[in-house]
Structure 1
């Protein structure tokens, strides 16, 4: 058996491979996170990082207050700042309590993490094997079978698991050698939870037959991770070919791909937009019922976090959007304003007066903001009349159709007014009456996700 000291070397190696000056540990009070906290305290000075901890109270156990107190005492003893976050876990008959608790926990951990900081959690090799088996049970491909990565992006920072190559046995041995105390979650013995069932009944049986099964399954997960990374490298090239400038997918390009290639492109497209990919069966329906729907149809398929729609032979991933404001919103120079279509607007002074050169995402605005207050409004009717610069008067609907704005975004397209006069249809055109004005300002549009 590996010596307890080996675990310190494993953690140190991972921390050096993923350096960060601000580290925050998710501290449950269980043996895994207590051991990791003990090791981090011993390394923080030599590796030069600040350390804090966060304890998430799910409110699911009668002992939750005792666990929080234990974590407070431990962090006070080891001089580690601790934040306690209380969350509410929805309990629905058709939803997994484990999954809901995990989602609430990571949302709280993300809120506690500073920008650019590193979240550390104490999952270990045996946890990795459980994730691998659960993914196999669900029928996952290599992405799911890769289970948990050692380090990945997380919110505005990153999430690392420095114990992932260490076994539960190593961790418990370290705790005993260093006379550490910890708390036991009373729910850990309930086999109604899938992970507990695997840990208490399935894995001991497998290990009695094949003593090295945890190491070999963890290695399979690691190899799946390598294969998934290689796959994404090549699929990225296909996605670049199929993706339009507004992040939609060109159906004609997708149609030229074989079915497996097409599904891989759609998966990566959703992943890059921050969404969990739906099951393979539903993903196939996206192609059959949305992409290949009748030409006259306006097909849409809803998922938990988004919907997929078709417009002008392109697929769009559409997030739920906030309500359209009913009152005018002041627009001041150098201030960012959120738009109802999911973009943001910033009005800035033009670098070169009287110049019509624009960068990507920029639109010229021929009006002096000091003349009268500029306001953002939304169309009361798509039949309202507008006069684009050097064009005849027409309905707003036709202007937006001509600009290729999808139907669901047309009522959400912002209108910029100066007093009671329409200055511009934001991101589409400037209005005719101001064509004599110098180009003094730029309207810069960007995604709300990246602004």
Structure 2
């Protein structure tokens, strides 16, 4: 903990900062470490997801600890219910970051807080890599969680990404501190929890250094993904915006895929592997003026308009719109 916090402090984060504080072991340790290092400069943000009966108990625990530490606490209640077919974990994460954005826009945060720290650690990073592998993810998924990123004017940090989860709990026990346990963390209906309960102990036994090696692989993937993003931006500048079909056809399939994923992400869309394969086939076949391109991707449609590709976020088929 001490080494990780010293490295974070060396990065000179803007103060005051806010700690994303759930009341669990990891965020409790991060809050205590930040409050010790920067007394009077730390706030706590607690997101009440409302997904289980224990959520009110989590909030009470957070209130009591923050009162004892003299740390200002802001609580934001969110609706984190997942829609049909959506991942409960993904829905909760989206609701959480939406709440962080809302907190950052409050008058108090706008005037002061430009740094938010989150307590995900080395085990979480390893779980994220394994989860990405289980889903057949590309480089963006295998890059796992970044240590630092920015949303608007607020910089987010994960200072504990190099710290194993068990060491964090040992550090808290050494301080005699308590924390809350989220019962959903042991529910093996969730893939991440199965990874935590079954795979991480096996990896610990077979490859004791797996946390460090997985993190190194994730860093390599992140670097490669950054290069692909640079190439996509350069290719998009050459192909035009929106993409000109004839110019697209001069690129290799790999570069077409890279460019199209980059462009679709700018529209808030993401194509599956099967959808991208179909799209490349339609682009390759587009050799006559009357050839149509029309493909459902996510919540919208990709189609040909004259000599370019056009994206529409309408859920209705272009054919039905006339």
Q: TM-score range by the shorter chain?
A: 0.7 to 0.9
* 1:198 equivalenced with 2:175 (yes/no): no
CA distance in 2, matches of 1:233, 1:220: 20
- Name 1:227's counterpart in structure 2: 224
Write the distance in 2 (CA, Å) between the matches of 1:218 and 1:176: 26
Q: Compute the TM-score of the two structures, normalised by the length of structure 2.
A: 0.87
TM-score, normalised with respect to structure 1: 0.63
CA contact (8 A) 1:125 1:166 kept: yes
Shift of 1:313: 1.4
The aligned counterpart of 1:288 is 281
Q: Which residue of 1 aligns with 2:257?
A: 263
Instruction: Return the offset for 1:15.
Output: 4.3
User: For residues 48-447 of structure 1, what are the structure 2 equivalents within 5 Å?
Assistant: 50-92=41-83, 94-114=85-105, 117-244=114-241, 248-271=242-265, 273=266, 275=268, 277-289=270-282, 295-296=289-290, 299-304=293-298, 306-319=300-313
Partner Cα distance (2:124, 2:134) in 1: 15
State the 1:108 CA deviation: 1.4
CA deviation map 1:243-291 (0-9, x unaligned)? 23xxx112222110000011111122233x2635332222233333478
- Judging by fraction of residues, say which structure has more helix: 2
Q: Tell me the residue number matched to 2:22.
A: 28
Q: How far apart, CA to CA, are the structure 2 residues paired with 1:220 and 1:238?
A: 27
Quick one: distance in 2 between partners of 1:218 and 1:100? Answer: 25
Q: Distance in 2 between matches of 1:120 and 1:320?
A: 37
8 Å contact 2:4–2:160 — kept in the other structure? yes
Q: Which residue of 2 aligns with 1:363?
A: none
Q: For 1:87 and 1:229, how far apart are their aligned partners in 2?
A: 33
The number of equivalent residue pairs is 309
Q: Which has the larger radius of gyration?
A: 1
Identify the structure with the greater strand proportion.
Answer: 1
Residue deviations 1:211-257 (CA, integer Å, cap 9, x gap): 1122211211111112212232333322221223xxx1122221100
8 Å Cα contact 1:15/1:162 also seen in 2: no
Unaligned runs of 5+ in 2: none
Q: Evaluate the alpha carbon distance shift between residue 175 and residue 141 of structure 1 in structure 2; reply closer, same or farther with a 3 A threshold.
A: same
Kept in 2, the 8 Å contact 1:33–1:121? The answer is yes
* Cα RMSD (Å): 2.5
Higher RCO, 1 vs 2 (CA within 8 Å, ≥6 residues apart) = 2
Cα gap change, 1:317/1:23 in structure 2, threshold over 3 Å: closer, same or farther?
A: farther
CA distance in 2, matches of 1:234, 1:203: 36
**Deviation, structure 1 residue 38:** 0.6
Tell me the distance in 2 between the aligned counterparts of 1:320 and 1:54: 36
Q: Quote the offset at 1:51 in angstroms.
A: 2.6
